Structure 1
Amino acid sequence: MTEKEYCCRDLLAGLSYECVRGNVDKCVNEVVYDSRKIKEGCLFICICGYNTDGHSYIPEALEKGVSVLVVQKDAEIPKDSDVTVIRVEDTRYAMAFIAAAYFGHPADQLKVIGITGTKGKTTSTYLIKSILESAGYKVGLIGTIETIIGDTHIPSKNTTPESFVLQETFRRMVDAGIEIVVMEVASQGLKLHRTQGFVFEVGIFTNLEPDHIGPNEHASFEEYQACKGLLFKQCRHGIVNKDDEHMEAVLKGHTCDLETYGFDKTADLYAEDLKLIDKPGELGVDFHVKGKMDFEVEVPTPGRFSVYNALTAIAVCRHFRVEIPKIKEALLKAHVKGRIEMVPVSDKFTLIIDYAHNAMSLNSLLSTLKEYHPARLVCVFGCGGNRSRLRRYEMGEVSGRLADLTIITSDNPRFEEPLAIMADIKTGIDKTDGKYIEICDRKEAIAYAIDHGQPGDIIVLAGKGHEDYQEIKGVKYPMDERVLIAEILQERADRS
């Protein structure tokens, strides 16, 4: 067997399967789940997707000389074919184990931290990465925005990649000298078995609210909740938010040991003496960590959810024995692109970019910012095209109720007309007494907000967050709100 050959039996180790044709001792030169990559001598996993079924590519695979097929349905194979056919209950589940074996079980050489929950996953991953790196660990990251391997940043397609891509990423991380990986674990990723084939060192539950329920996602809130809970049957240590009302339901049947965090004083790690920090151009929180640790910490992002994110990171980093001064310093410096990201514009008012792109997240964001008693709360947002119109009504109603002024603008119109989307947002605002104006061009809308900013205002640019493009009729045009702000400020400077 050459070094580029893999024994089928070895790839299937740990799986329940039936060899319905051929020989499991057959060797293959590659593992493939994308029909476009099928080649002679490979093992092809037939995945049942939402839009395509890998089993329909079996005739093509046979023509190209595939050596092994992994299926979950009956497959018609010509009698003269020497292909080996392996039958499993679920090819997605099987792919996770096959991929792990194919890439040499790289997760066994890593400490993998997985974070699941409706909100807080992205911010928490960056906070944990920042703290652990300050303590000298080499840390990789996999999440909604990007995958980070050393100095390499790869934009993400899915919050949690397909199991094959995930294992390939782990392999790259091990080869790059990474010791710890912190990753977002989406409920969809758990449902589709993307994180099978290895054990998480730490699993984290942040919170749970109704989301991702509908076609091609979750059939019900109960399914969504149950999928979140799968992480705690696949990790050694669980760290969970004790304040969340769904905690016990999510943990049902867990197999890991547990510790808790929150504001509840019976939690293993809890926050008390919360104070809001309001400095020119900066909002934050100060609180005392109690329980298994005891120290005061300041976080340069606002609200109670910032405390939860910080507690999550502190609980994880305690597990890795990071010293308190390192934790405090890292939390003070950590910033996450597009997540309550404060952009310095003026000493008179505060400008924030945030990814809030549904009613739930916008309500949470605006409610938090109102606690800082701004002179005015100004919300600039639009909604994505070719998505639920209900989201537009709901977001309009939230902004109309909570913001002193809403500037309705364009987001990613996709194949819809921006003005039609804006009209739907207006329908929601009209249910409230909220004041609003409409400026379709997003740069002009931001410029209006900056030019009319008043002392003590908090201005929020919601919906785009970390995105650096605007999608119009199938084309993604470059558009980064940070760049737009810089251009606006330069244009104002050039005029003066």
Structure 2
Amino acid sequence: MKLRELCEKIEYTCLQGSMDVEIADIIYDSRKLEQGTAFVCMIGAKTDGHKYIPDAVAKKASAIVVEKEVDLAEIPAEITVISVASARKALACMSAAYFGYPARELTTIGLTGTKGKTTTTYMIKSVLEHAGKKVGLIGTIGSLAGDKKLPSKNTTPESYELHRLFREMVKEGCSHVVMEVSSQGLKLDRTAGIEFDYGVFTNLSPDHIGPAEHASFEEYMECKSLLFRQCRCGIVNADDEHVEGILKGHTCEVKTFSCEKQADLMAENIGFLQENGKLGMHFHTKGCMDCEARVHIPGRFSVYNALVTMLVCHLAGVGDEAILAALSEVQVKGRVEMVPVSDKFTLIIDYAHNEVSTRSVLTTLLEYHPKRLICVYGGGGNRSKLRRYDMGEVTGEMADLCVLTCDNPRDEEISDINNDIKVGLAKSNGKYIEIDDRKEAIRYCIENAKEGDMIVLLGKGHENYQEIKGVKYHFDEREAVAEIMEEMKKGLM
């Protein structure tokens, strides 16, 4: 593709060379430079791409994109050099052109907010698939085209990777993509140039504030708000105190959802579901949908996630009956995920692995008044001891029994990690036992469960491995539970 075609959506100044030069690929990581490529000199937190211009010259790149003054005398005349105001925005627009603007071939749904993005993206994907759509997903847990896993790194990948993923999804037959749009992704222009069909705001609370992320809460909110200047329809939580700040300067049509206020979709008569070992919520909606809804994901926050899902899918043309049927079946891997084991007690898998997320999930489960709340967890090796103290303290305070076991000990000993957790448990007088083998810890809980118990396996969530002494061993808690149940069944026969 010619450089001129790649740059059709950006403003630039050609400092030397021809815009009609052929470009084999776009590179922003100097280690991947090859002959005939265009090198985009981005400035990051740790390095400046302009330092690697000599590498681009040595590798015979065809073009170099800069945002700072450079010494043209050091760049051969046959290499085209163009200057832009923002190399990051240039990369985003050039990448979209390079991959043939794949986002235009998809219905694009982007979610931003502090909590609930991962769960809600999966819920929307599930409902759309139930309605016969093939859906791509990009987020914290990874990227999917339907059921096919696609390689990706960040929650919101770099713009080049993002458009590559979109193109893969189109090739795989996807008609929709639902993705998490992080504040960092918006700040760093990873989604620049994309006009989302639907932009969603879940909620906002202080997070990601620090030297390497956002300077202040105000900047964090400002970055989140950018999504609503690049989408056609904004879908926002009317109950969140920061909704006005999020919509400041918006250029989109706005739709609202709420549990407390007048909105386009409202939930009322909210209640807790607890049936046959399953937990969830039920509620009535009014507004653009008038119906009784059920979701088998526990907690009041699930009502908000369900409202987002219902409103997005309703606006996307899915029928109400199809939405309600799919919503009642949705489970999100590793996020308060219920594993059917018994009608008498409940077993849940959740990714919570710090004090804040653990307190949140345990608070949610206690609203269902379990006979006993039992936590199975360990701690990550080569990580802060403070996290272990905090995990011990919160679980000791809120759970009836903690079963300390193996998580990802990495280079540390399991006993050393669990000794740190015990420091926190001692602060809250928490009861505990230790079973180092995680499968055996789960077996102990299942074999000794009483009617009305809730067993929550914390820390692994969607992960399917344990990292021990530099080796990743396959371990999936769902498989472990299934094996335990089969072994128990055979033992009874």
- Which residue is 2:480 aligned to? 484
Give, in angstroms, the shift of residue 340 of structure 1. Answer: 1.4
| TM-score normalised per structure 2 | 0.93
Aligned-partner Cα distance in 1 for 2:242–2:376: 33
Q: Greater shift after overlay, 317-326 or 400-409?
A: 400-409
- Aligned counterparts of 1:92 and 1:389: Cα–Cα separation in 2: 37
Secondary structure at the aligned position of 2:82 is classed as strand
Shift in Å, 1:265: 3.2
- Tell me which residue corresponds to 2:434: 438
- 1:184 is matched with 180
The residue aligned with 1:72 is 67
Consecutive aligned runs of 4 or more in structure 1 exceeding 6 Å deviation: none
Pairwise CA RMSD:
2.1
The answer as to whether partners of 1:145 and 1:156 remain within 8 angstroms in 2 is no
| Counterpart check, 1:116 vs 2:121 | no
Matches of 2:476 and 2:281 in 1, distance apart? 28
Helix, strand or coil for the counterpart of 1:335? coil
Shift of 1:237: 0.9
What SS is found at the alignment partner of 1:333? Answer: coil
Matches for 1:78-477 after TM superposition, within 5 Å: 78=74, 80-154=76-150, 156-214=152-210, 216-477=212-473
Q: Cα offset for 1:382?
A: 2.4
- Asked if 2 retains the 8 angstrom alpha-carbon contact of 1:271 and 1:289, the reply is yes
- The structure 2 residue matched to 1:22, chosen from 17, 26, 31, is 17
Question: How far, CA to CA, are the matches of 2:223 and 2:354 in structure 1?
Answer: 21
Structure 1 window deviating more from structure 2 (134-143 vs 233-242): it is: 134-143
Q: Map 1:27-38 onto structure 2 (within 5 A).
A: 27-38=22-33
Q: Which of 7, 18, 40 is equivalent to 1:12? A: 7
Aligned to 1:48: 43
| CA positional deviation for 1:215 | 5.1
Q: What is the CA deviation profile of residues 292-350 of structure 1, one whole-angstrom value per residue up to 9, with x for unaligned ones? A: 22100111111111111110000101112221111111111222211111112223210
Q: What residue in structure 2 maps to residue 3 of structure 1?
A: none
Percent sequence identity over aligned pairs: 58
More moved, 217-226 vs 56-65 = 217-226
- Cα 1:164–1:156 change in 2 (3 A) is closer
Q: SS of the residue aligned with 1:23? A: coil
Deviations 1:398-425 (A, max 9, x none): 2222211122333223344433333333
Structure 1 window deviating more from structure 2 (156-165 vs 11-20): it is 11-20
Residues 270 and 291 in structure 1, CA contact (< 8 A), matched pair in contact too? yes
Tell me which amino acid in the other structure corresponds to 1:72: E
- Determine helix, strand or coil for the equivalent of 1:293: coil
Kept after mapping to 2: 8 A contact 1:144/1:156: no
Partner SS for 1:27: coil
- Give the counterpart letter for 2:22 in structure 1: C
Q: Distance in 2 between matches of 1:312 and 1:388?
A: 35
Moved more, 288-297 or 29-38: 29-38
With normalisation by structure 1, the TM-score equals 0.93
Q: Note if contact 2:110-2:196 (Cα within 8 Å) is conserved in structure 1.
A: yes
How far off is 1:282 after superposition?
0.7
Give, as a single letter, the amino acid of the residue that structure 2 aligns with 1:59: P
Q: Distance in 1 between matches of 2:214 and 2:184?
A: 8
Alpha-carbon offset, residue 52 of structure 1? 4.5
Shift of 1:457: 0.4
Secondary structure of 1:41's counterpart equals coil
3-state SS of 2:427 partner: coil
Which letter does structure 2 place at the counterpart of 1:25? D
Query: CA separation in 2, counterparts of 1:176 and 1:296?
Result: 35
Q: Distance in 2 between matches of 1:367 and 1:287?
A: 20
Distance 1:305 1:451, change over 3 A: same
- Taking a change above 3 Å as real, the CA distance of residues 466 and 96 of structure 1, as seen in their structure-2 partners, is same
Structure 2: distance between partners of 1:492 and 1:155 = 38
Give the C-alpha shift of residue 249 in structure 1. Answer: 2.3
The letter for the 1-side match of 2:4 is R
Q: Provide closer, same or farther for how the CA distance between residues 167 and 79 of structure 1 changes in structure 2, counting only shifts above 3 A.
A: closer
Cα distance 1:99–1:79, how it changes in 2: closer, same or farther (>3 A)? closer
Distance, in Å, in 2 between the alignment partners of 1:447 and 1:130 is: 31
- Tell me if structure 2 keeps the 8 A contact 1:378–1:406: yes
Give me the whole-angstrom Cα distance separating, in 2, the residues matched to 1:140 and 1:399: 36
Inter-partner Cα distance in structure 2 for 1:183 and 1:339? 17
Amino acid at match of 1:65: K
Following superposition, the deviation at residue 9 of structure 1 comes to: 2.2
CA distance, structure 1, for counterparts of residue 411 and residue 205 of structure 2: 30
Residue 359 to residue 36, structure 1, CA distance change in 2 (3 Å): same
